[in-house]
A and B are shown apart, each in its own frame.
Chain A
């Protein structure tokens, strides 16, 4: 494996959890819900995924468990904000705190244990292609899934009726309700999807990235995912570009540090944030496009008229 292949592979590995968590949140926000609990759902996915795969020995059961844990945590958020009408911002923060604490409790017995790694899927015959073979056709299954999910979300939002309904609910929930769409049901479904992908992102961390359980191992990735969604102006293609840019600059910074380039480490580790923000700010200078894609009822609870 050449050095450039190694770098690109680590970039993909670093970017995938961000992309997974962010693409779910993008759908949630398009439906008009602001879920700040990504970090909490991710870390619940990470610990549950690790525990389930350690106990059963199957990484796939771990992935499944992580998805279920993410959905379960998101449904707690859904119940509080959609049915009990609590404030979405406060509830999201509470979910993050709850997830970090609860995962520490659940995971206390698993700290330092060897994990089960989800193995890569090689597509026979294609991995030998020059330059791109190993990069494109020798990845772990969650990387493929993250790409498929992103393309799927982009297609569904733009070209299908389901996507149209999600956008309508996020744009103007009163009108959607008046037309007979079930605003709260649509939002529950989107929140569940966001929970599932956050769970997946957590599983990626504890089953692929570093196959072990470390407390708080999400290390703020949920917040980065959240920022990516906003800066991408709610467009999946930009979101993917932002996630890979972030991962790219991050890894290049690590390599630069490793090679002993005389830039302070703190500055290097802040680079991905600065670069992503700059890039996305430039992309989103088209204000008209941003305003059109912004879900107008983002963060507002829906209470139908009497």
Chain B
């Protein structure tokens, strides 16, 4: 239905010509050209590290280009600061919301508005505008109490209050349920109809095909193609992004599930921090050879669940969790590891790995107390078995294609995808019988994601029980044998993956499975 408008040339709103940005010797953007027309949704595609964020930051005045020119409505401009960009009429919704948790919605919005727009009753205007665009918001609510979807609405409303001519959105659906995403799309369609232009950054190609009129694709900081997303297929777009065809994850049917290796029965846990989520009556079972995925929007209790299962929080007085037949509520992480479990936390830096330590030292940290290396890594009075550690490091790097500057680089020097491959590899190398992995491919490029997913599948086919917590539905359908959905600390029953549609999962993410109706008021 959008095809018609594609061919109509509209006035160009923002144009960048031969723009480059150099960090040291590294070109984050190398002579990139881009033109955004009014009344269109323009997609900016690329893998992590392709230079999308750098390009957008230059358009929003947060970074200054090393070379090249920027034209706004045909006139050359130099966008000096975000405030200047907002004055021109450029609004931006960030991927990691730049919100202040301890301030109210109205205070957050007020901080981002110029003097002229702060007059009068801001709260009232926020309420009106958010109603008008179908983005309900309570101006006096504290941001800390809001869901991720609601937080995104704040950012959008705050941009809309300035009546932007260009709205830049950085991965806006990464944190939304499918239904919330559809709601966002209808808001975007309305904006475009009203003459606003949208620059839409995403790596979800189906979405791009659904709402975008033009697409610009970056790879390694260079422009590789400008295409019509209505004509291209998701596969051709992916190929342009990655520069080669993406490895397809293969998953043979799973005929042999064995005993239950990990089970939770009616687990209850009161949140330990004021902004945490209480876990309510969570039950699940993972069998040998099975991959169970827990879907859900981030912040609904997944991290709390992970820390209870991994033993970061242990409750010696309870008996909710059984690992390979042993009640393990009171065991710490290392004791659970020795039972045969492995854990991959969500934050790879700071949680999964220590930034300033080398890779071998990071291996030692999670494995010194495990009994699954050839001989103990910990030599008692004699210190540490460095030789075995560096062998392990080489094996993991080779097997999981970890690219690094030196053999034993510091964890902080690895890119996100490579570090994730390392952290996952470190745990999988143990051949654990139970693997619990939180957001396995969050913020990881397509190549690394495929490798990690394949490794997880291979492990399960060797008879391990695997629990995945993810908010990426594509990933879940690619990996899972069975699926459960988490919302507000409650877990749905488990369904076979082939029995569930995206829409059903979306409804459950929004809470349709919840048993008690817990009122949402502030």
Contact = CB atoms under 8 A, between A and B. Distances in A.
Interface in A136-180: 161, 164-165, 167-168, 171-172, 174-176, 178-180
Contact of B100 (A171, A288, A305): A171
A293 B102 contact: yes
A294 B63 CA distance: 30
A291 B448 CA distance: 38
B115 to A, nearest CB: 9
Contacts of B100: 167-168, 171-172, 175-176
A175 B98 CA distance: 5
B82 A287 contact: no
A168 B98 contact: no
Contacts, number: 56
Q: How large is the interface on B (under 10, 10 to 19, 20 to 34, 35 or more residues)?
A: 20 to 34
Nearest to A181: B111
A192 interface: no
B111 A164 contact: yes
A64 interface: no
A167 B100 CA distance: 9
B274 A178 contact: no
A164 B274 contact: no
A165 B94 contact: no
A126 interface: no
Nearest to B61: A180
Interface in B264-317: 273-275
B144 interface: yes
A292 interface: yes
Given A164-B111, A171-B102, A172-B98, A306 B23 contact: yes
A249 interface: no
Contacts of B62: 178, 305
A180 B144 contact: no
Chain B facing A: main interface SS? loop
Contacts of A305: 62-63
Interface residues of A, number: 23
A296 B101 CA distance: 9
B192 interface: no
Contacts of B111: 164-165, 168, 176, 179, 181
A164 B81 contact: no
A179 B82 contact: yes
A168 B102 CA distance: 9
Interface string A276-306: 0000000000011001111010000000011
Interface string A163-207: 011011001101110111100000000000000000000000000
A180 B98 contact: no
B98 A292 contact: no
List 8 A-B pairs, minimum CB-CB distance, nearest first. A175-B98, A180-B83, A288-B274, A292-B102, A171-B100, A178-B98, A180-B82, A291-B274
Interface of A: 161, 164-165, 167-168, 171-172, 174-176, 178-181, 287-288, 291-294, 296, 305-306
